[in-house]
């Protein structure tokens, strides 16, 4: 029988803002499996919330990291490098776009809004892996990122974030190719709609969620715990031969044509 035991492993999770964050569900399941957690939160605004979430987790490290500067990412890893032996798991669960760019016509997306969304939501995976992978030991490690089906299909309202997810998924494949011989695996989870701070600002989010439940083969929306369980699989030895993959956790919605 296979049991996922991450005792002795260390995971860094980027993107916990509150108890609804997908990153928080993933952090919890990794913690339950025995991993030591490092939580990289964006800024002061979320620090108290994040501190409260992890207050009972002994040995957890909290670090601030705004990913818009490479130097912030590099210094996170240099600070934790002194406290851990090796890093085994990296979770990227970060996205941002201006509210104005998450509604109306995609045609109206401005250059600065495009740059911002792509920078935070897609480019950030590159420094997060570039500076994090060297901390992974001889056994390698696992990196996961969070994506959405708007990378390949049009979801009106999701707009520039769809462009960012297309870039992110391409990065996952290129990074998987770069790091495969180091036994560092890079995958993404393409999740169905979930109520979080980020999804709330997408202008047609409610429609997306309703249609998803109506049309998916399983006839319902997903739960955040279903994403976390797939994350656990991707972060553990159970997925040792899987890299560069986009795994859908969407009750099958992506396979439907009608
Ligand atoms: P969330 O708002 O809880 O998480 C987004 C995180 O990004 C927050 O923790 C925020 O602090 C962080 N962030 C934003 N700008 C940052 C910056 N400059 N530096 C560092 N961190 C920054 O929302 P979520 O829904 O949990 O989103 C997590 C990931 O899941 C995102 O990539 C999102 O696109 C993806 N996703 C969400 C859904 C959904 O329906 N909620 C579906 C598929 C994929």
| Percent residues over pLDDT 70 in the chain | 100
Q: What is the pLDDT of residues 46-95, one digit of tens each?
A: 999 999 999 999 999 999 999 999 999 999 999 998 899 999 999 999 99
Q: Where are the domains of the chain?
A: 10-250
Ligand 1 center–CA 141 separation, angstroms: 22
**DSSP H or E stretch at residue 215:** helix 205-215
C-alpha distances (whole Å) from 191 to each of 58, 66, 100, 148, 151 are: 30, 24, 23, 6, 12
Q: 10-250: which CATH topology? A: Rossmann fold (3.40.50)
Ligand 1 center–CA 97 separation, angstroms: 10
| Three-class DSSP category at 108 | helix
The pLDDT value recorded for residue 85 is: 92
| Percent residues over pLDDT 90 in the chain | 98
Cβ 102 under 6 angstroms from ligand 1: no
Average pLDDT of the chain?
Answer: 97
In this prediction, residue 257 has a pLDDT band, given cuts at 50, 70 and 90, of very high
Q: What is the pLDDT of residues 147-172, one digit of tens each?
A: 999 999 999 999 999 999 999 999 99
Q: What is the pLDDT of residues 114-153, one digit of tens each?
A: 999 999 999 999 999 999 999 999 999 999 999 999 999 9
For CA atoms 245, 143, 173, 150, the dihedral sign is positive
- Residue 232 scores a pLDDT above 80: yes
Cβ 149 under 6 angstroms from ligand 1: no
- Residue 1 scores a pLDDT above 80: no
**pTM for the full predicted model:** 0.98
Q: How far is the C-alpha of 152 from the C-alpha of 175, rounded, in Å?
A: 19
Whether the CB-CB separation of 247 and 191 falls below 8 Å is answered with no
Nearest ligand 1 atom to alpha carbon 20: 3
Q: Residue range 200-228: average pLDDT? A: 97
């Amino acid at each position: 029988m296979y049991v996922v035991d991450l005792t002795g492993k260390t995971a860094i999770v980027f993107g916990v803002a509150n108890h609804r964050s997908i990153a928080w569900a993933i952090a919890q399941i990794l913690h339950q499996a025995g991993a030591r957690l490092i939580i990289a939160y964006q800024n002061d605004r979320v620090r108290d919330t994040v501190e409260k979430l992890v207050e009972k987790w002994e040995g957890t490290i909290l670090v601030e990291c705004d990913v818009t500067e490479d130097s912030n990412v590099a210094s996170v890893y240099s600070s934790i490098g002194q406290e851990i032996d090796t890093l085994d798991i990296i979770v990227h669960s970060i996205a941002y776009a201006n509210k104005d760019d998450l509604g109306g016509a995609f045609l109206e997306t401005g250059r600065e809004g495009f740059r911002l969304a792509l920078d935070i939501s897609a480019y950030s995976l590159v420094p997060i892996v570039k500076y994090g992978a060297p901390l992974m030991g001889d056994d390698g490690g696992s990196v996961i990122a969070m994506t959405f089906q708007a990378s390949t299909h049009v979801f009106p309202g999701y707009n520039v974030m769809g462009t960012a997810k297309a870039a992110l998924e391409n990065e996952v494949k290129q990074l998987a190719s770069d790091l495969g011989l180091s036994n560092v695996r890079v995958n993404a989870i393409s999740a169905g709609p979930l109520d979080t701070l980020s999804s709330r600002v997408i202008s047609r989010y409610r429609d997306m969620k309703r249609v998803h439940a109506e049309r998916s083969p399983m006839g319902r929306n997903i739960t955040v715990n279903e994403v976390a369980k797939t994350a656990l699989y991707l972060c553990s030895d159970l997925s040792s031969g899987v890299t560069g993959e986009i795994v859908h956790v969407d009750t099958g919605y992506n396979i439907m044509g009608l």
